[in-house]
Structure 1
Amino acid sequence: MLTEFLVVCPLVFLAGFVDAIGGGGGLISLPAYLMAGIPAHFAVGTNKLSSAMGTTISTLEFARSGYIRLKLAAFSVFAAIFGSSLGARLALHIANHVFHLILLIILPATALYLLLNRHALKSPLVEKSVSSSQFIMTLAISLSLGAYDGFYGPGTGTFLLITLTGIAHLPINLAAGNTKMINLATNVTALVVFLMNSKVLMLLGLVAGLFSIVGNFLGALYYKRFGSRIARPIIIIVLLIFLAKTIWDLVG
């Protein structure tokens, strides 16, 4: 049992730090639980507990910094949760390997876009108001990536940050805050389901959650200081890890 804590907690700390800056922390934390020998359903459920604890802290830190607009965030969360339910139903009718094949095109293309576009994720000042077109596009993205989250899930936060800045043209600080709100809402929603089905290892999840809190808090502070300069390389690394994982899943 001690081995589980020694394997999971440091990696969950790292996941929280990365997640607060560029999303994609689940690509580190979930494999950590599996590496520790936790059965899959318990690994996912316990990961939701520690992730929700850490994401709560980074969300509060982003809100305190003025990166969250409540109206935009509330509608985005609703759209994401609705999309997630649609995605979960869609998953019942489409083979998982088909989605993996699609990701083999999307992931390297996205990473290449970030590598070649020096202006990607540049951080302008947060605007005083969000235009109607930005608002509508943000809801459409939240719905679409919510559906992705329900269908498959990994990397949702990273894709949200990229599309909210690149397509909805939100300032990166506002995009990051909105992403945190959506991540928190979907994490808590999923956690409730796992708790109701007794698929959460409470002690491990709570202790790992403390490490996640510290990682998210330091990551949020680091992000506020360095902004897009640190977000861009971390997102590229996360995308490459995600690509490797997708290839591994297909080969395996």
Structure 2
Amino acid sequence: MFEVSIEVLALLLAAGFAAGFIDAVAGGGGLITVPVLLIAGANPVTALATNKVQGLFGAATAALTYARGGHVNLRAQAGSAAIAFVASILGALLVTRLPVELIRLVLPVLLVAVALFFALKKGLNDSDRAARMAPAVFAGTMVPLCAAYDGLLGPGAGSFYMIAFVSMAGYGVLKATAHTKLLNFASNAGALAAFAVVATPWWATGLAMGCAQILGARAGAALAQKQGARLIKPLLVLTTLTLAAKLIWDLL
């Protein structure tokens, strides 16, 4: 039934739980699941596609958990989610037409800049600030940019959603985290729709990992709601710098 042995599946389930927890708090769960999928024998394209399958469950669970906590109105985000879905498909389709290698070179620099912003910005907490963009403008610019990147490459998309909500929408850290989850779900779904055409995900394994993601995401979102920026900021900085270091390592 599964594409891997029971022993390997157990490792993948543990990775799914850990990734769900981290993704629900700060994003970056793919840092755990993609390498483990590669170790399990998936080729790079299959690993990325399977990661999208299981990641859908974690993002959806986190979005629902934050919504129940009163930190996000999912119905109000429906339009932005639809934009993210379409933009991520377009990003995936443009992978052969855009300078992907150049983007890979610039990406670590952008991720380090994101980490420094959250580490050094004074007064960055769970309190909202003045927005620099109207909601409609944000939905028409920041959302499709982040979602298209998610479809095109993917690593760090959650961090880019976060910094957009904090710096442009004026959201506090916890509220920004809550608002990234439905958009992450939508852009993951769009990317998976594109991947399903050109790749063969491990569907059974991905669905099993998705169940583990649900448990991890519920635990992570619950803890984040209790701790707020005290937990989210340092974990976001850590995961973003780790991702930047991994990308630099891959380039070298």
Q: Could you tell me the TM-score, scaled by structure 2's length?
A: 0.87
Distance 1:24 1:216 in 2: 12
Distance 1:246 1:141 in 2: 23
SS at match of 1:69: coil
8 Å Cα contact 2:132/2:168 also seen in 1: no
SS at match of 1:124: coil
Q: What RMSD, in angstroms, separates the aligned Cα atoms of the two structures?
A: 2.5
Range 130-139 or range 17-26, more displaced: 130-139
User: Can you list the C-alpha shifts for 1:144-184, whole angstroms capped at 9, x where unaligned?
Assistant: 11121122111111211122112221233432232111111
Match of 1:124 in 2: 127
The letter of the residue matching 2:98 is I
- Summarize the Cα distance change of 1:131–1:103 in structure 2 as closer, same or farther, 3 Å threshold: closer
Match of 1:98 in 2: 102
- Summarize the Cα distance change of 1:249–1:202 in structure 2 as closer, same or farther, 3 Å threshold: same
- Summarize the Cα distance change of 1:126–1:174 in structure 2 as closer, same or farther, 3 Å threshold: farther
Counting aligned pairs with the same residue, the percent is 31
Q: Could you tell me the TM-score, scaled by structure 1's length?
A: 0.87
Distance 1:43 1:59 in 2: 24
Range 194-203 or range 137-146, more displaced: 194-203
- Summarize the Cα distance change of 1:198–1:103 in structure 2 as closer, same or farther, 3 Å threshold: closer
- Summarize the Cα distance change of 1:155–1:104 in structure 2 as closer, same or farther, 3 Å threshold: closer
In the alignment, structure 2 segments of 5+ residues that lack a partner are none
Match of 1:234 in 2: 235
Distance 1:108 1:155 in 2: 11
Distance 2:167 2:102 in 1: 26
Distance 1:41 1:89 in 2: 14
User: Can you list the C-alpha shifts for 1:57-84, whole angstroms capped at 9, x where unaligned?
Assistant: 1111111122223454122212223332
SS at match of 1:32: helix
- Summarize the Cα distance change of 1:7–1:220 in structure 2 as closer, same or farther, 3 Å threshold: same
What number of residue pairs does the alignment pair up? 248
The letter of the residue matching 2:126 is S
Distance 1:239 1:7 in 2: 24
Match of 1:65 in 2: 69
The letter of the residue matching 1:73 is Q
User: Can you list the C-alpha shifts for 1:77-99, whole angstroms capped at 9, x where unaligned?
Assistant: 12223332443344322332201
